Structures are given as C-alpha cells and as structure tokens.
Structure 1
Amino acid sequence: MKEKSDINKLLEGRCRGQGVEYVAFKKANESHSIGTATAIYDPIAGRTVDVLSMNEFRFFMITRFDPKVVEIKEQMLMIPGLVAKAAAKNGFRIPTNILTTDFVVFYEDGTIKAFSVKSSKKIFDKERYKDKGKWRALVRRQKLERDYWELLGVEWSIIYGDELNVMEAANIRACLKCYNQQNVSTIDHMYRYLIAHHHVAVDLTQKIHFTKVAKENEEEIRRLYKEVTDNGTKNCIGTRQNNLLRGNHL
C-alpha cells in the first residue's frame, strides 16, 4: 500500500485519538520494511497496533504485559514546532517532514516515557559506515529526538532489539491471544488466559509447554479460571491475589 502524505495523515487525525481511537502516524501496510512490519491486535487496548520491525514487535509485547502500563502509542508524531526548537538548539537543519517516535508509554502512576527501538548498539559504530554521512545523520536524528522529548519533560531512551528476550515476547503473544473470554475454549486456553491476566506467575523468558502443563494441572486450572471469571476479575490486569501457580508447574 502506498504511504499517504504527511498532510493527509494529519487531516485524518492520526495520533490524536486515545485508547481504541488511536491511529499510528505510519501504518504497517505503509512501511517499506516488507516482511517485518506488521499489524497486531492488542486485546487490552482493543485496537490494532502497527509495528515496523520484529524488534518493535518484541518491545511492544514485553511492555504491553507490564501491569503498570496503561497505554502504548506507537509511531507517535513529533510536533513540528517543538522539533524546530530542538533542531535550533543543536544548530541542525529543521526537518521538512513529520518525525515520529517509535513508542510512547503511559504508566498508571502518571509517568510517560518515550522509546526509540534500534537493532543493536552496533548501529552507532562509526567504523561500520563507509558513508560517514549516514552515520552522522543517524546520530543527529537520535539527538534531535532526545532533545525533543526533553523539551516536553519526558524521559526518552533507546531500546536495543538484540537485548530483548525473543521467547518472552512469543510467550506473551500466545497468552494475549486468549486474553478475551470469547477466545477461551480449551484447558490450554484457560491456562493462557490466567497468565495473560496475571493470575498465574510463570517465567516467560523460558519455553512454556502450555498444553502439557495445562493437562497435568487441569483440575486446578479449571478451578482458578472459574474463580476469577465468576468474580468478574477477567479484566483486572495487575490483580495478583490469585497467583497460586508458580513456574511451569503447580
């Protein structure tokens, strides 16, 4: 799909909405990163999220599972006027196009943090670039983004994809597929549902044999699932009173 112009995106009202109404400034189907950009459904926010790389996907999954996170806004536009101020501060040329930040995360205590996701620290190794101009452009872009968020009083940092746990992101995605009760039909699904809602604590950084664990502990999983759903706690992310299961076994 051809990417729309910045003007058309602004006219559409991208990045203005809250919660389910939020739309990323750049959508996955408008990305040139064929095969890595993807739209994923976030059952907690109840909307589609656009990630532009596998590293962004992993960051999103791991961050989304944090019970202290209220909302995540991806591909968030940077206000041109403030970008111009940040550029002037550093003596940079003012960008002619709209810039975006990969993720802006809102926490339940009112904290806001902004994140740029890069593949690894090696991307900033000057010696890897034959064209030093590309390296300078990369560094300028990150400094501009950092100073932009500093003007807003928001903490900004770079996240490196090779430091994110691949298995953790995969496990969280598997569990969030069963976040809503209408997607729960088997004991395996019940187990994933309980993990997704933090009623069961497991080590998500290790491979979890969901079906095997569920079958071995079917009675206890059914009991706990009935308890939490009957009590109307199915949407209480962060509720930990029922952390009766530890590890990948009972």
Structure 2
Amino acid sequence: MSKGSRRSESGAIARRLKEGRGQGSEKSYKPWLTVRDVPSRGLSVRIKGRKTGRVHHLLSQLELSYFLMLDDIRASCVMDIREQFPLTPIETTLEIADMLSIPHPKDPKTGEPIVMTTDFLVIVTSADGERRLARTLKPSADLGSPRVIEKFEIERTYWETQGVDWGIVTEREIPQSLVGNLRSLQGCWDADNLPAVAVPQIERIEAELHRALSDKSIPLFQAALDCDGRLGFENGTSLAVAKYLIATRRWDIDLHQPIKTEENLHILVRGHGSTEMAPER
C-alpha cells in the first residue's frame, strides 16, 4: 500500500472530525456517514426528525423503519437519535480487533482501516435517569455470516467498554403493521405540510370529522370528502388534517392495526394519551 493511499485515508478521517462528524447532540449532531458518502441502491433516505428538528441520514429501509418507531410521539422516552455514530477513536477498535484476533474492517480501495459505526445511538430517559442505547440494524438473513458476526463482536466489545447497552435489531423485532402506519404518516406531524387553508381551521375540521366518524358506517375517506364539501375545501384537505391529528396524537388510535381510509376510523382518545412504545429491542 502506498504512502499516498495511507495519507488519503487518514486525511478523510481528519476531515470528518474537523467537520464535526459524529459530534453534537439533537439538532447539532452530524452523522459520521451521510447518504452521499455511501453507494446507494435507492434504499437510502434523508428525513426530517420530529424530535431533533434536523435531517437524518438513513442508509437502509430497515434503518428507516426503526427510526420511525424511535421518532414517533408515542416513544416519549426517546430524547435524542444519533444515526451513523462513529466508534472513535479508531485506535480503540483496532486494539479490540487485535485482542480478539479479528481482522478490522478496511476500505476496499485503499486497504486501510476505516472508522466503524453503529447505526443508532439512542438517548432515552427512565425512572433511573438518562441512558444510552446502541443499536445495530441487520436483516436476519445476514446473521449467519461469520464476517458479520466478527464485526458485531468488535462493536459489542467497544460499547461494553463504554458501559453502553448494545443490541441487534432485525426485521423480526419490528411490527410491520405499526411501521406501515408510521410510513403512511411520515411527515404528517408537521403542520407546514398541511394545505395552507387548513391550518387556521384545524379545530373546526377536527370537530366536523369526529362528528362524522361517530357514525361507524361511514369510512374515513367519505367523512373527509363530506367535510371538504361542507367547508368549501379542495378534496383531500380534511384527510390530510385527519392524518395530522393521528400523527400528533390529537387522535389516539391503535397503530398496530392498519389504517384503511375505506373503513371507519376508531378513535380511542381525543387528545394526548400516555401510551409509550419502548425502543429497547
């Protein structure tokens, strides 16, 4: 390996550190890797977080599913979500790999060691105070790979030395109906995404929709269309407000049951409840 290649790799690490990658918290946090740093097959996504107020960089659809669970208002114990978190300094993981007699991950082009990352470092609160949870996302089909297990062992040992709870999350731990609903509600919590005409009328629309849905024979889409007609809105306005009400938990529903607009919507509670989705999977 040429000295130029070694300088190039160490230079990339130094550049990311100088940019503040892997540093900060909440809105000021910058992930070590962004969607532009990693080759994509159309699976990477940038998404604005409700809890941090910043754009998150997610490198797989599995990461997106888990993120939506963490960022949902019902996961009220989650205070901060830091994706693509670096295991730095790199000397620590190099020492761990050497101790375990496991090859450290390298850049395939330069052959130089790279900074390892954990998909999510989650900050949660509980009765015992603030805790950090490190979570790695991986399809269950990949768990049979010896190399995957080797890298997991480096990662697990790193977090063990930091006193941080580390774990693996696969698609088996992610409720598909819940995530399907969260995907359909993605961004609906942000009032800026509502039709402008609806924003000052949210309370009126909510009352009209709730009254209509009290008739259990009326499906959600019909209640929304009727509401649009009565209030003189374009079709789709009241349905957008209904999704906003669900996403902000003004309407509390069972998100483990698929939301079907062709069916009546069963509202459990009007207003904010206290149900919490635990992220410790």
TM-score after normalising by structure 1: 0.73
Partner of residue 50 from structure 1, selected from 51, 57, 61:
57
User: How far does the alpha carbon of each residue in 1:107-162 deviate from its partner, in whole angstroms, 9 at most, with x for none?
Assistant: 12311111111111x3232xxxxxxxxx3322110000011111111111111124
The Cα of 1:28 is off from its aligned counterpart by 1.2
Partner of residue 168 from structure 1, selected from 178, 184, 196:
178
| Aligned pairs, number | 211
Aligned to 1:60: 67
Structure (1 or 2) with the larger CA radius of gyration: 2
Looking at structure 2, the residues matched to 41 and 111 of structure 1 have their Cα atoms a distance apart, in angstroms, of 24
Is 2:132 aligned against 1:112?
Answer: yes
Structure 1 alignment gaps of length 5 or more: 126-134, 229-238, 244-250
Looking at structure 2, the residues matched to 56 and 36 of structure 1 have their Cα atoms a distance apart, in angstroms, of 10
Identity of aligned residues (%): 25
Tell whether the 8 Å contact from 2:51 to 2:79 is kept in structure 1 after alignment.
Answer: no
Residue identity opposite 1:182 in structure 2 = D
Aligned to 1:240: 273
Tell whether the 8 Å contact from 2:50 to 2:71 is kept in structure 1 after alignment.
Answer: no
Looking at structure 2, the residues matched to 193 and 44 of structure 1 have their Cα atoms a distance apart, in angstroms, of 16
Structure 2 alignment gaps of length 5 or more: 1-10, 106-112, 199-236, 276-281
Superposed, 1:38-187 pairs within 5 Å as 38-65=45-72, 66-79=75-88, 80-94=90-104, 96-109=113-126, 110-120=130-140, 122-125=141-144, 135-184=145-194, 185=198, 186-187=237-238
- RMSD of the TM alignment (CA)? 2.8
TM-score after normalising by structure 2: 0.66
Tell whether the 8 Å contact from 1:19 to 1:71 is kept in structure 2 after alignment.
Answer: yes
Q: Secondary structure at the match of 1:5?
A: helix
Aligned to 1:208: 259
Aligned to 1:35: 42
Tell whether the 8 Å contact from 1:43 to 1:176 is kept in structure 2 after alignment.
Answer: no
Tell whether the 8 Å contact from 1:37 to 1:54 is kept in structure 2 after alignment.
Answer: yes
Tell whether the 8 Å contact from 2:180 to 2:258 is kept in structure 1 after alignment.
Answer: no
Residue identity opposite 1:170 in structure 2 = G
Tell whether the 8 Å contact from 2:159 to 2:165 is kept in structure 1 after alignment.
Answer: yes
The Cα of 1:196 is off from its aligned counterpart by 2.3
